[in-house]
Structure 1
Amino acid sequence: MSAGRRLVVEADGGSRGNPGPAGYGALVRDAGSGEVLAERAGSIGTATNNVAEYEGLLAGLRAAADVDPGADVEVRMDSKLVVEQMSGRWKVKHPSMRPLAAEASGLASRFGRVRFVWVPRARNGHADRLANEAMDAAAAGRTWEPSIPQSPDPVPHQAPTTNRLSGWMAPPAPPTTTVLLRHGQTPMSVEKRFSGNVEAALTDTGLHQVAAAADRLRDEPFDAVISSPLKRARQTADALGRDYLIDEDLREADFGVWEGLTFAEVRERFPDELNAWLADPAVPPPGGESLLGTVARVTAARNRILARYPAGRVLIVSHVTPIKALTQLALAAEPAVLYRLHLDLVSITTVDWYSDGPAVLRGFNDTHHVAHLVTAGE
């Protein structure tokens, strides 16, 4: 192979728990034809999402070196953090990632040229699939085996979403459908207080709301109902009259010292911290969890659900931030969209997740089942 060949590395990593059982996936394509030349994936035991993403990058760079050590390489990842750090725009602050970043820089220096590019998650579906295959194999006590396609993708480097969204052609396989139900009213929601991990019970109005939601969903078939562990979500799930599972990663964001305070109280007591939180989803409230942290663990929950219920229909009972996170993932949108979505109590949001990566938002913030209740939006 001649020096100067152009290669594309697609890499990803994930953690089911963050930290939790983790794995990575990477592949190398010919930049011209889109042909997949190499696949790599593996389990790395217990680790965070960011560490797993770096391991995916390392695997991809090593695979590219095996294909052509003199190539020009474009690395595509949906991890903004890894891309910005490897591009030199962000500092590598976490001790566990510094040696990984240093090793990746060393590998990158051996190529003709390396460029790091952020892509939406929907365009990184192949690497994400490899990472999940590796984690599934490890959980089953097996070793992951590669399966190289015999022909290049029909549209290199892009998930085939356009025709699906337009309804022009059928999807390759039935999706997993998640119906996302927000819990009912609590005293904290009436007073508009931060109530991430506060164990608030439903009000009488909240009980009427969830009864109306249960009526609407009564005849809908579901392969599973999965709830946040928090009391208000469990009460909502109880009202549905079905057996349900608990997933800890579906709980609301932890708002730290702001828990129980109104927005006005936080603005008065923590003006600088609130401004920083509103400006950057990577910034947590004091003692709490950033929006990106919530997205990371909700992503882990989603991955488990999709792996367990392929082509299934799952009802998820959760909270504002986790449902917004799943909506952001479905839209392959920037994290800033989390600030621009509004969700009412007991609203229903529906997402189809396809096995080849893309997702379709079928409905968002639907509350017609509680339109007769004056306080439905409180």
Structure 2
Amino acid sequence: MLAERFDDDRPLDEAGWYEVQLAAPRLIPLGAAELRYCSPTPRSRATGTALGYAPLAQPALRDCDMGRWRGHTLAEVAALEPAAVDAWLADPRTAPHGGEPLLAFITRVGGWLDTRPADDGAIVAVAEPAVVRAAFVHALKAPPPTYWNVDVRPLSTVTLTGHPGRWHLELAAVAG
């Protein structure tokens, strides 16, 4: 796995490509969905393409804009700006990094989710773990700080069924 860095748009590395190949038998069938989307990051686009999804990049599925913290790890930023990190973790409306507040990020991802077609057609989206966490919080109508208590592993799947205001989650184990 790549080191977790804020708003990181590095492409898949060799280990990432290997992990996609291992997960492919489980994930390729999802490509039968009528609509296939991905985050605009190189990693998400490459993953969707490698799985044969031919996904349409959706700007609303991009990772949270982390401003001047972009590309750094939490540990690096905490060493340089401990008070700012504490404020950011405590209040989802703040953006001491100069980027997007957590609440705005969750609202953006949730807004995208709520505007998907309401028919019974299947949709697949390839996105960073942070985007999936934001979708969880929105779908469950959970308080924004819940975001910090959701772990999403790369190449895992979650199924959301329902419609705006009434989502249901189905979690699948990561095979590998």
TM-score, with structure 2 as normaliser: 0.91
Look up the equivalent residue of 1:268 and give its one-letter code: A
Q: Which of residues 349, 353, 356 is equivalent to 2:162?
A: 353
1:111 alignment counterpart = none
Q: Which of residues 103, 106, 124 is equivalent to 1:315?
A: 124
TM-superposed deviation, 1:259: 1.4
Q: Is the 8 A contact 1:257 1:285 kept in 2?
A: no
Look up the equivalent residue of 1:314 and give its one-letter code: I
Q: Deviation per CA, 1:311-343: give whole Å up to 9, x if none.
A: 111111111221111111221211111011111
Q: For 1:276 and 1:298, how far apart are their aligned partners in 2?
A: 22
Q: For 2:134 and 2:117, how far apart are their aligned partners in 1?
A: 16
Q: From the two aligned structures, give the one with the greater strand fraction.
A: 1
Corresponding pairs, count: 175
TM-superposed deviation, 1:280: 1.2
Q: For 1:358 and 1:293, how far apart are their aligned partners in 2?
A: 20
1:193 alignment counterpart = 5
Q: For 1:288 and 1:294, how far apart are their aligned partners in 2?
A: 10
Q: For 1:233 and 1:327, how far apart are their aligned partners in 2?
A: 18
1:305 alignment counterpart = 116
Q: From the two aligned structures, give the one with the greater helix fraction.
A: 2
SS at match of 1:311: coil
- CA gap 1:329/1:306 in 2 versus in 1, 3 angstroms: farther
Q: Is the 8 A contact 2:110 2:139 kept in 1?
A: no
- CA gap 1:225/1:213 in 2 versus in 1, 3 angstroms: farther
Look up the equivalent residue of 2:124 and give its one-letter code: L
2:153 alignment counterpart = 344
Relative CO higher for 1 or 2, CA cutoff 8 Å, sep ≥ 6?
2
Q: Deviation per CA, 1:178-230: give whole Å up to 9, x if none.
A: xxxxxxx4xxx33x332x1x430111110011223332122343111101111
Matched, 1:213 2:20: no
Q: Is the 8 A contact 1:255 1:285 kept in 2?
A: no
Moved over 6 A (4+): none
Q: For 2:168 and 2:128, how far apart are their aligned partners in 1?
A: 20
Matched, 1:334 2:150: no
Q: For 2:163 and 2:107, how far apart are their aligned partners in 1?
A: 20
Q: Identity over aligned residues, as a percent? A: 31
1:367 alignment counterpart = 174
1:44 alignment counterpart = none
Look up the equivalent residue of 1:262 and give its one-letter code: T
Q: For 2:22 and 2:108, how far apart are their aligned partners in 1?
A: 30
Q: Is the 8 A contact 1:294 1:321 kept in 2?
A: no
Q: Is the 8 A contact 2:45 2:55 kept in 1?
A: no
Q: For 2:122 and 2:152, how far apart are their aligned partners in 1?
A: 22
2:95 alignment counterpart = 284
Look up the equivalent residue of 1:321 and give its one-letter code: A
Look up the equivalent residue of 2:137 and give its one-letter code: Q
2:33 alignment counterpart = 222
Q: Is the 8 A contact 1:330 1:353 kept in 2?
A: no
Q: Which runs of 5+ in 1 are unaligned?
A: 1-184, 372-378
Q: For 2:157 and 2:52, how far apart are their aligned partners in 1?
A: 17
1:325 alignment counterpart = 134
Matches within 5 A, 1:226-245: 226-245=37-56
Look up the equivalent residue of 2:5 and give its one-letter code: R
- CA gap 1:217/1:345 in 2 versus in 1, 3 angstroms: closer
SS at match of 1:261: coil
Q: Which of residues 255, 273, 289 is equivalent to 2:84?
A: 273
